[in-house]
Structure 1
Amino acid sequence: MAILQTTVSQTAISRTKNRAIRGVAVLLVMLLAACSMDQRYKRQVSGDESYLDTAAQKPLKVPAGMILPLRNATYDIPQGSQQGAVGKQLDIRPPVQPLVLLNGARTEYTADTSKLLLENGPQNRDLWTQVSRIVENNHLPIASRQDANQTLITDWVKWNRADENEEEQFAGRYQISVQQQGYQSALLVKSLGLRQANNPVTDGIKVQRYNVAMLNTLVQGLYKIRTDTENNQVARGAGSLDVQSGSDDSGLPALIVRAPYATVWQRLPAALSKIGMKVGDHSRSQGAITVTYRAISNSDWDALGTKDPALKIGDYKLQVGDLGNRSSLQFTDSKGNTLNQQQNDSLIVVLQAAFNQTGTK
């Protein structure tokens, strides 16, 4: 009988524990679900907020008859009143910056207008057509469109951001246009309205955030179009490249490669490695490359079918220029001196051979 009672008692305890565990598990699931729905923590500062209760500074009261030592007011904290959100109400997210992904591009923006400026080159000749394609590919709703004026107005574009609550997402309307400004083409995005959960938003910071976001959507689309085009050029440009002697606008020696910039940039690192130049920092948008030259062995030169150009060992900067269907290469030594004509001429055959060996498929 005692054994039966003990067994029943243990069973009851076990059931109680199981119910408690299940209850805790359900509570944890509910808490996690609540956290996953509320995204405010991504926009709010975390930590001790006791600084908000700091008492204001008071002027020092000096008793009558006391003479204080001379003081320097250099490090005095000026009095002032700060207007704006504090604590949990402060949005700690960094401002959205316009993306500069395209060669020769620069941006300008205000609270409600963003602008991308591009040179009037061959790539930008059909800018409006490219922008229209990007709008369609991103399924942006269009309220009106005037191709003759290269302008369109979107309907409400919904922004689904992971740092905003689902029920508090933003939506905006924009005027997108392409204009000619002297020797440049300008892609403009102007905000025509912003709302959050169907409530109008006039806060300049928020308007700017989503205005720049629209510009960046277009910039990313343009970058993809350019990259796809350049990759196709590279594929068609496989094989030998002709390298010739030339000069820049100021008359300084340079090397001219008879191939588009995309093709040369794609094949340049491997070609430089072939002749003993190790590539360091490089920026495709600026056409800048840093290299360190270490002479290779005679057998390596024989494998290239060329001779040692007798280039001084050390660090160099290489500037790659886009000349349409050609590209320029200009080397500068560590002292900022451009290689002279003789040094450039010695590199012609060397780079020609290196390009040929790295460009075959």
Structure 2
Amino acid sequence: MSLILGIESSCDETAAAVVRDGYQVLSSCVASQIAKHAVHGGVVPELAAREHLVALNPVVEGALREAGVTMKEIDAIAVTQGPGLIPALLVGLSFAKGLAMGNGKPLIGVNHFIAHIYGAFLDEAHGVLENPATYPLLALVVSGGHTSLMLIERDGKARQLGCTIDDAAGEALDKGAKLLGLGYPGGPIMQKTAEGGDPHKYEFPRPLTGGAGKPLAPENLYNFSFSGIKTALLYHVKHHAGADGKLPAELLQDTVASYQEAVVDVLTRKTLLAAKNFGAKTIVVAGGVACNSVLRERFEALTPKHVQLRLAARKYCTDNAAMVGGLGWHYHRKQAYSPLNIDSFARLPQITQVPFLGE
């Protein structure tokens, strides 16, 4: 039995968790900074870093207490190394280094993007990853920073089939909410506002789907673009704005529902196309936007019956440390530890292998 302490600080959530043997989450504690950043309409990296400094120690202590273990019983410390906001990442990484050094524990630097994929297999899913019938696996990671399709084979070989060439889907929802004056964070507010609205009332564009009268370039078949949807919303608001420059209340619900529908349609359409073309046996949907009920319902309705659908549990969609600790266990069992001089990284590097598969 191995216990991994996970630490996450890539953006505006300070999180710690204790995970047993890669799957059993004994504790998962998250300190949110939403109220701090809401007044700015988005995450301020320096402010996030300062808040992590305040929250890390009590959050880690809370995770250990909730799990009923002490640092002495922890086998290794896994921490998000990147991608993310550098000021925020540095705080978590430095804290983890000090904790590892002070307690004589090995350190494991974890890729936040891969951890999101792994989060779909926490708790009840032990054995699914080892089953050959699970592969090829197609993962859609969709959040405020990422919108990517990753194909994973049984031996752990991985390749990115497509990604966003401009805004991520979560960013488009956040900025759409800001443009409409709905507040922050945009994703949950947009979903709530759209409830009961007509998603087909207004036709927002579906970029890179070949529906604009032009043939789609082969290199963009699995790529995403959401800046055009956001621009269309801007012009929609200008066209329908009242004397105060804002969208009339009677148009808001249908507008948000139609805007959300455009985002969901593109995400599901491209994912299902890639799954068909590459013969995927499993589709994983993960990342913060995977909390969206319309997106989840659409995948449940449209995923072919012969394809297994794994929607990450909502508590593991948003940034958390359970996914970090769970993924860290796979490094621990191979004794693939990180040196104490590892540095954080902001951008997603090329991924050719996932650590939870292969030797």
Task: Say which structure, 1 or 2, has more relative contact order (CA 8 Å, 6+ apart).
Answer: 2
Greater Rg, structure 1 or structure 2? 1
Which structure carries more strand by proportion? 1
User: Do these two structures clear the TM 0.5 threshold for a shared fold by scoring above it?
Assistant: no
Normalized against structure 2, the TM-score is what? Answer: 0.23
So what's the TM-score if we normalise by structure 1? 0.23
